[in-house]
Structure 1
Amino acid sequence: MANQKRLFLLDAFALIFRGYYALIKNPRINSKGQDTSAIMGFTNSLFDVIRREKPDHLAVCFDKGGSKARTEMFEEYKANRDETPQAIRDAIPYIKSILTAMHIPCIELEGLEADDIIGTLAKQAEKENYQVFMVTPDKDFGQLVSENVFMYRPARMGNAIEIWGIPEIQKRFGVERPEQVIDYLGMMGDASDNIPGLPGVGDKTAKKFITQFDSMEGLLANTDQLKGKMKEKVIANAELGRLSRKLATIFTDCDVQFNEEEYELSKPDVEGVVEIFKELEFRRLTDQFIKMFNEGGESGGGLTTPAATSEKKKEAKSPAGAGQFSLFGNDTSKEDVSAENFTGYKNLENTSHLYQLIEPGMATQLFLKKLNTQTSVCFDTETTSLDTFEAELVGIAFSWEKGKGYYLPIPEDQEEAKNILEPLKEFFSNPKIQKIGQNLKYDIKVLAHYEIEVSEPFFDTMLAHYVINPDMRHNMEVLAETYLNYSPKPITDLIGKKGKNQKTMRSVALEEQKEYAVEDADITYQLKEFFDKELEETQTKKLYEEMELPLLKVLAEMELEGIHVNREFLKTLSDVLETDILSLEKTIYEEAGEEFNIGSPKQLGEILFGKLELVDKPKKTKTGQYSTGEEVLSYLADEHQIIRDVLAWRGLVKLKNTYVDALPEQIEPKTGRVHTDYMQTVAATGRLSSNNPNLQNIPIRTERGREVRKAFIPRDENHILLAADYSQIELRIIAALSEEETMIKAFKDGEDIHASTAAKVFDVPLEEVTREQRSNAKTVNFGIIYGVSAFGLSNQTDLSRSESKELIETYYKTYPKLRDYMDEQVHFARENGYVETVMGRRRYLKDINAKNNIVRSAAERNAVNAPIQGSAADIIKVAMINIQRKLKENKYRSKMLLQVHDELIFDVHKEELEALQKMVKQEMEHAFELSVPLDVEIGTGENWLEAH
């Protein structure tokens, strides 16, 4: 068996979907606005297999047109699946092009699924003495496993690859023989494929039946041994069970032929692959590819199955040259193409540069003299930590000319450090020198701890790119590789990967520090030159210079200030919550009739839907477990007390763990306050996001959630908290943008907009509007912005689906210009590819013309709500800039501390309270002039809840 060859068959769509959804929260968008997540996910899986296993033979199998045979058997087969996302459809031609250039066969046949093609090829290759590895996360392939056919489940979310042979299949499915997996799937059904299975039979019952009766037919022949409801269900649904078994059976006799020569892994068309990768902007994958197929790569670990023969292991550990090996033998002759010929990426090693270390004495004096005569300088701090309160300066790099720069090391001794930094204050405070950086807010905060104030004008490359292309990533590595064709040195090359063995910058050799740090400053300087032009071209320079850059300094000052937190109050609240949680647990156990782990989705699902049978057809996850997600339970909450109690329990546990117990740990010892970080470059709408801790997600709809706000208090007895909140700003914006006179008049007359809307849509006098009518009108008012449907409205109110539909139709008749505005926004987006806020912030909508209705509808909703959400975000940003300027100009002792959605929180000196209230209200209400007046509600108190 030592010479047994190995064939790897990849299930294309399973890996493509898996890659796409793995990145769904942080999709990979390139500079053209193209979502490349699916291509990247699949290619990563492909490369991982090649790199680890160095297969002899490999092919990729695709579905084409669905399974004709199964659809003929059962019309509803896979009918429940959503339409394929447009990004995946767009990805397929690219993936096939990559495979073609790599000389890897793509196997597909009309009317067949990849499962059937893989099943057929696997059995053919097995007969020809191959070991076959079916590369897929899909459990259904377990039925094909044999002595020489394995399931190869790719690594995911930090979990290692898994290789399932016969023992693993026996353990996973509770079967003796892999072919019994077909019976298991037939009994249990498969929600993802819409295979019905036997009603009431889940994972445990299917395994029990397999053990007891051996097969589906064995079960159906012995129904006399069953009892009660289960017996009735199995007898009544015998044919459904047989049909389900047929649907779950993977075909192994398709019209496809294993071709040993064609499937052999051969040397790819390197140039062709790299060209595709360049178009997609796959920088890391290009480097990986070149290493794998030209200059070698890291030796893979090999399989932990009989396939991992000693010969294979020796081959993998017999590298050519300096620890490198080639996938195609150890020949590194001239025929191999060097990476730089194709990647085009410049780096420290292959790019001419002059980076100088600034020595003490005369060299420092000359440097300072030169520095202070510049008009635009990029600087970058090197520190010991990403936490600005812990970070110590190790050095500062400067650059004001491409390819050139300087590095000034900063000693550990604080007195020595201050002596070196003192002369730099002239540069940092000079209003005539533009300071350039990548994420300048971090550097400003670090330098503030050394009593150095960095004065405007600024240029932040991360912020500039966010304004130009909000949907793409903005870290320097991506920007440098995308726009400068340059690959910067990773920090991990100097200090190692995260973990207990990671070094700090202080322990890195000075020469390495200098090269790394000045490269960052040099590259950032070059990016600035590039983005200057891009801001002009995208017409976003005004937004950048007048809003985002000034806000950067405001946020830095707010973050440095922080807010006081009452530790003792949180400890008391934690104890109260613990009592509430234990009380709820006891109630839930009584309702369930037993104790179980409420936090375990598996155990909870078994109780709610297995034991208590709260619904006839419970929703299941892809792994076959009952789905107990928030959406599922919320939908059922009105009907079942136990579900209401479970949701309440979850809410309290999350509140306790995420905020009440976590907040005291986040109090900075040096200040006694918590200092949230505001991220300017995360939300494409322009909204700020808050991190470490996230103060924007503190729940306020429940009494216990609101209690958390009591923990935020003024600095001392001479101060009081003030909360200033925009009232219904998004509704005011949509009224102004749509020019809807009825709504504008209601706002101008100071009417309660929800009562006013209710009076009009329910056709009753304003004074006769009921509480329920106002509540329903409020739901529609806010829901319209987000494209609420009749189904969605009925879920959020006590209205039926038909009543909700009628209410929405009446609403649009009442406010006709609102519907016109929404249609115009969608039309504008279709024509231009983007929409804009009142201040010109663009939101690009790449899916606005997608063929997939679900994907396109989401883009259409964004076309309406992005300008509204974004305009609200822009307006509060302008208010913050103006208020902070006034606070400084008038030398207020009061401080602006937090921004939470449409609300600003201030720590106000009591002597300044009256003046500050007037100033804040004035600045917020006049931050931007709309045809509708902006209204700000102001409150004060000894804690945030009281002030709000």
Structure 2
Amino acid sequence: MNPSSSLYLLDAHSLIYQVFHAVPVMTGPKGQPTNAVFGFTGDLLRLRRKNPDYLVCVFDPPGKTFRDDLYAEYKAQRAPMPDDLAAQLPVIHRLLEAMQIPVVMVDGYEADDAIATIARQAEKKGIDVFICSADKDLRQLLSERIRIYNLRKDVILDSDSLLKDWGVKPDQVIDYLALVGDNVDNVPGIPGVGPKTAAKLLQEHGSIPQLLGNRSAVKQPKLRKNLEELEERLLMSRRLVELKTDVPLSIDWEAWRVKPLNTGSLLELFRECGFHRYANEVRAEQMPQGGSLSGAAQSELFADGPPASAPAPKNDWQGAYHLVDTAEKFSDFLERLRGRNRFAIDLETTGLDPHSARIVGMAFCWQAGEAYYLALRGPAGSPLLDPHATLEALRPILEDPATGKVNQNIKFDLEVLRTAGIRLKGIVGDSMIASYLLTSGERNHNLDELSTRYLGHQPIPITDLIGKGKNQLCMDAVEPARIAEYAGEDADVALRLCEVLEPQLKSIGLETLYRELEIPLIDVLAELEYNGITIDVPLLKRLSIDFANQLSALESDIHALAGRTFNIGSPKQLRQVLFEELRLPTQRKTTVTGEASTGQDVLEDLAAAGHELPRKIIEYRQIAKLKGTYVDALPELVNLKTGRVHASFNQTVAATGRLSSSDPNLQNIPIRTDLGRQIRQAFVPGQADWLLLTADYSQIELRVLAHYSQDKALQQAFQEDRDIHAYVAAQIYGVPEEKVTKEQRRNAKTVNFGVIYGLSAFGLAKRLGMEQDEAADFIDAYFARYPGVLDFQEKLLANARSDGYVTTILGRRRAIEGIRPRSSYKQRNQPEREVLNTVIQGSAADLIKAAMLKIHRQLQQGSLASRMLLQIHDELVFETPSTQRDDLARMVEDAMSNALKLDVPIKVDLAAGPNWLDTEVLVVGPP
């Protein structure tokens, strides 16, 4: 048996339940539920990409197990399996058969016991075991060879992380679980013993037998009494959670080896379920390693829908990565680099903040399988190149726009180089962006994942070099020879990925979007991040004190209404106050614990019903979130070197094509409340006699809807520059526009935006506080007045159902499964809402990206000193000398209005002022 063999053991019911609740409701072509099958298929394909030697799926058997004989109440509180999930189990078994994954199920024993037995046997054979499950009981199996793999977070749990998480060792897990108990499985435990107490008891006494033998040493009287009176219950709980490792089952290692997919059976199953994307993933295994297909082959490969995340077979990775650490080696390298028309460049740095990180080294790769690492910093005594002289020698090549550069997330390298005084030019590719455009619905586009997915190669983890946790090293403390292997491989992988992914983009018509919008946008976003924005820290300090006083007053009110003090931030204590002590009506259960929810929706329903305490809790949470997320956090994010806050703008997060921001997330600052608006007041120009200027697309998503739907009445409203919400209200209510009330306009506004995203009568009724029948009538009236909108939506859904994807105005694709063969505008499901959302919101995103590109180029080429600072969905924020305000406004308005052509006018609202809040409407004429 090969000692490096790996076995992945799947706790089937655990994973299937997870995806059933995580994946929105989906239906196949015949209306059958498919969300669990869809989610589980994704799990299996991801696991196959890890190239395990063995892959086994373990199910719970029907009927009772030996634990039911031990304790009749065991799992008695568990709800029966939902009908929509039960209907998918036969399909899941067909899926496993088609993927040739063996199934284990033993009568009388839970899946956990079978997993425990197999894992221990594999351990004896020297096989590395990865258990895929969320079940806490399985942690008792952890050892040097046995680990738990969290598929959702892509995290491996081992003995060390168990000790950090729970404070116990694997051989103490059984006792820990017995002490704490488990509400889900109905394991009793000991009253008053939570996770911290259990860990402390086991740290002090070692085990339950030792604890019971020395319970007189337990200081808390009540706990000591419980241990005395409930000893039998505790020992019974211990037997319930202890897993069997001697389950009578047959292990056939050869039969359990990973086998090729039964492609025909799998494609037939995907056809029945309507899984276009997964069908393409299976077909994509035909793609030659590291190469591209002929035009005819590409056409056939992607005939049924969006491109695949092609899982590549195992391969023998070949890589020669050279360390360049002397002047002689560098001279030779420079000669080799000159004349190359395209190469990958990857920087290793002392940190992840591009404004303060120093370059440790640079890797270059222009031919698959060979790379060079230039060592600039390292441990004392290491041969190193002179950083300044090296960068100066490279400057002509790095700043040459005719020499193409690629990498994974090359925006980071661009910004680090700019901090070092080099303006990187000639960016022509980014493997992260290429992957995102091909599979925008995937959340993970990091280098290791893409390498495994497309190249069949698992790169060196960075933790192999710098470790993790409190003992993590800085990269400049690692020997350059070790970094050379790591960085050289990264550059090599990035180059190979671009060579694999870019032909796929071309084959489905995404090359123009990639080359002419997304890749040039890297420069724009890097400029925004480099510019940052100034924060009025003293104002935020004053706001923090004010918010703290408001929270203190609210806390007193809340405790008075509750009749006692309690931890407002604790869902458990809040649940007890609301539903046990005050006996307010419970609204819904949580999916994990089965207990009453204290979420925002529940509190809003209770507040709407006239209950004061939930209303106060909502207000408290809003202020606490603003204070923690922005008021107190923003001053800490001010860069000491620049004195500004530098947010990150992300191109590969939102599936619709929208940009997102992080560190801080400026797109989530609420603007509909006075408190949220006060935070905007803290964003100010960085220089005296400068202003902030904002440019906001007016009703852009409704204009995009009018463009696509070709509805004459809707288009007329925009042609005549009417107040669209008052216009729609007048038509629906049958009154003159000047007679429309504020409430009627508000209702029309909610419908206008709700219609774009498939808002149901139930959702509209909840938002407007009306009866559901009245809301349904309102939606009916809307579509009666604007039939083109409904016709457009129905055609869009029909195309998405047949194609498996939708496209935006610039051709951006998003794969969406689960469109029903027949659906009503009165009740859209989640995938159908995603279709409508993607086309409208994604097209608006295309528009503002195109505008940003035009503005960036004009600012670079023109004489204005103004700077673009932020992008917030449909709004851009600039800072400008007050003397250049009107010139900037004219240029921005023209660029935004003419970035793309719609069949209705595009209007831009301009404003300027001393901060982001206090701006005045700006109307500028010709110069």
Q: TM-score, normalised by structure 1?
A: 0.72
Q: Which residue of 2 aligns with 1:672?
A: 643
Kept after mapping to 1: 8 A contact 2:322/2:373: yes
Q: Select which of 163, 181, 196 maps to 1:172.
A: 181
Kept after mapping to 2: 8 A contact 1:166/1:178: no
Kept after mapping to 2: 8 A contact 1:848/1:856: no
Kept after mapping to 2: 8 A contact 1:845/1:859: yes
Q: Is 1:644 equivalent to 2:593 in the alignment?
A: no
Label 1:484 to 1:708 Cα distance change in 2 as closer, same or farther (>3 A): same
Structure with more contact order per residue of length (Cα contacts < 8 Å, sep ≥ 6): 2
1:630: Cα distance to partner?
Answer: 1.0
Amino acid at match of 2:616: D
Label 1:735 to 1:893 Cα distance change in 2 as closer, same or farther (>3 A): same
Q: Is 1:883 equivalent to 2:892 in the alignment?
A: no
Q: Is 1:384 equivalent to 2:350 in the alignment?
A: yes
* Structure 2 SS opposite 1:668: coil
CA distance in 2, matches of 1:119, 1:458: 51
Label 1:162 to 1:842 Cα distance change in 2 as closer, same or farther (>3 A): farther
Q: Select which of 757, 761, 765 maps to 2:732.
A: 761
CA distance in 1, matches of 2:449, 2:822: 30
Q: Select which of 615, 627, 630 maps to 1:659.
A: 630
1:14: Cα distance to partner?
Answer: 3.4
1:484: Cα distance to partner?
Answer: 2.0
Amino acid at match of 1:757: V
Q: Is 1:494 equivalent to 2:465 in the alignment?
A: yes
Label 1:465 to 1:622 Cα distance change in 2 as closer, same or farther (>3 A): closer
Map 1:33-72 to 2 at 5 A.
36-39=41-44, 60-62=59-61
What RMSD over aligned residues (CA atoms) do the two structures have, in Å? Answer: 4.4
Question: Deviations along 1:776-825, whole A, 9 cap, x unmatched?
Answer: 00000000111111110010003211110100001000000100000000
Question: Deviations along 1:854-878, whole A, 9 cap, x unmatched?
Answer: 9982111112221100000010000
* Structure 1 SS opposite 2:829: helix
Map 1:330-409 to 2 at 5 A.
344-347=314-317, 351=318, 353-409=319-375
Question: Deviations along 1:732-777, whole A, 9 cap, x unmatched?
Answer: 1001100011010011111100000001111111111111011000
Q: Select which of 507, 520, 545 maps to 2:490.
A: 520
Which consecutive unaligned segments of at least 5 residues does structure 1 have?
A: 1-8, 26-31, 52-56, 65-75, 109-115, 126-133, 143-151, 182-210, 215-257, 284-341
Q: Select which of 751, 756, 760 maps to 1:780.
A: 751
Q: Select which of 729, 733, 738 maps to 2:704.
A: 733
Q: Which residue of 2 aligns with 1:84?
A: 85
Kept after mapping to 1: 8 A contact 2:801/2:821: no
Q: Select which of 543, 547, 550 maps to 1:580.
A: 550
* Structure 2 SS opposite 1:678: strand
* Structure 2 SS opposite 1:558: helix
Kept after mapping to 2: 8 A contact 1:464/1:544: yes
Label 1:117 to 1:856 Cα distance change in 2 as closer, same or farther (>3 A): farther
Q: Select which of 900, 903, 906 maps to 1:928.
A: 900
Label 1:590 to 1:709 Cα distance change in 2 as closer, same or farther (>3 A): same
Question: Deviations along 1:389-431, whole A, 9 cap, x unmatched?
Answer: 2311111111111212222111479994111110111001112
CA distance in 1, matches of 2:172, 2:23: 24
Label 1:34 to 1:61 Cα distance change in 2 as closer, same or farther (>3 A): closer
Q: Which residue of 1 aligns with 2:219?
A: none
Which consecutive unaligned segments of at least 5 residues does structure 2 have?
A: 1-8, 26-36, 64-76, 118-130, 139-145, 158-164, 191-225, 230-243, 267-277, 283-311, 921-927
1:361: Cα distance to partner?
Answer: 3.3
Q: Which residue of 2 aligns with 1:941?
A: 913
Kept after mapping to 1: 8 A contact 2:12/2:57: no
1:436: Cα distance to partner?
Answer: 1.2
CA distance in 2, matches of 1:654, 1:169: 37
Amino acid at match of 1:383: T
Kept after mapping to 2: 8 A contact 1:384/1:392: yes
1:344: Cα distance to partner?
Answer: 1.9
* Structure 1 SS opposite 2:390: helix
Q: Which residue of 2 aligns with 1:320?
A: none
Question: Deviations along 1:128-176, whole A, 9 cap, x unmatched?
Answer: xxxxxx999789x99xxxxxxxxx99897875689886995576389xx
Label 1:941 to 1:480 Cα distance change in 2 as closer, same or farther (>3 A): same
Amino acid at match of 2:807: E
Label 1:723 to 1:474 Cα distance change in 2 as closer, same or farther (>3 A): same
Map 1:290-689 to 2 at 5 A.
344-347=314-317, 351=318, 353-411=319-377, 416-472=386-442, 473-496=444-467, 498-615=468-585, 619=589, 622-639=592-609, 640-689=611-660
1:540: Cα distance to partner?
Answer: 0.2
Amino acid at match of 1:393: I
1:638: Cα distance to partner?
Answer: 1.1
Kept after mapping to 1: 8 A contact 2:113/2:245: no
* Structure 2 SS opposite 1:356: strand
CA distance in 1, matches of 2:10, 2:421: 59
* Structure 2 SS opposite 1:385: coil
Map 1:66-215 to 2 at 5 A.
81=82, 83-84=84-85, 91-95=92-96, 101-102=101-102, 105-106=104-105, 118=110, 159=165, 172=181
Label 1:545 to 1:119 Cα distance change in 2 as closer, same or farther (>3 A): closer
* Structure 2 SS opposite 1:932: coil
1:504: Cα distance to partner?
Answer: 2.1
Kept after mapping to 1: 8 A contact 2:682/2:915: yes
Amino acid at match of 2:16: I
Amino acid at match of 1:346: D
CA distance in 2, matches of 1:887, 1:684: 29
* Structure 1 SS opposite 2:344: strand
CA distance in 1, matches of 2:552, 2:90: 49
Q: Is 1:792 equivalent to 2:756 in the alignment?
A: no
* Structure 2 SS opposite 1:946: coil
Q: Which residue of 2 aligns with 1:297?
A: none
* Structure 1 SS opposite 2:918: helix
Kept after mapping to 2: 8 A contact 1:721/1:908: yes
CA distance in 2, matches of 1:356, 1:166: 53
Kept after mapping to 2: 8 A contact 1:494/1:512: yes
CA distance in 1, matches of 2:561, 2:247: 64
Question: Deviations along 1:841-865, whole A, 9 cap, x unmatched?
Answer: 1111133359999998211111222
Amino acid at match of 2:846: D
CA distance in 2, matches of 1:431, 1:164: 59
Map 1:248-267 to 2 at 5 A.
263-267=249-253
Label 1:799 to 1:840 Cα distance change in 2 as closer, same or farther (>3 A): same
Amino acid at match of 2:322: Q
Label 1:17 to 1:694 Cα distance change in 2 as closer, same or farther (>3 A): same
* Structure 1 SS opposite 2:900: coil
* Structure 1 SS opposite 2:321: strand
Q: Select which of 663, 671, 677 maps to 1:706.
A: 677
Kept after mapping to 1: 8 A contact 2:658/2:845: yes
CA distance in 2, matches of 1:163, 1:87: 38
CA distance in 1, matches of 2:177, 2:486: 48
Question: Deviations along 1:153-207, whole A, 9 cap, x unmatched?
Answer: 9897875689886995576389xx97999xxxxxxxxxxxxxxxxxxxxxxxxxx
CA distance in 2, matches of 1:358, 1:443: 19
Amino acid at match of 2:642: T
Amino acid at match of 2:85: T
Amino acid at match of 2:253: K
Kept after mapping to 1: 8 A contact 2:11/2:58: no
CA distance in 2, matches of 1:86, 1:855: 22
CA distance in 2, matches of 1:738, 1:83: 35
* Structure 2 SS opposite 1:381: strand
1:259: Cα distance to partner?
Answer: 14
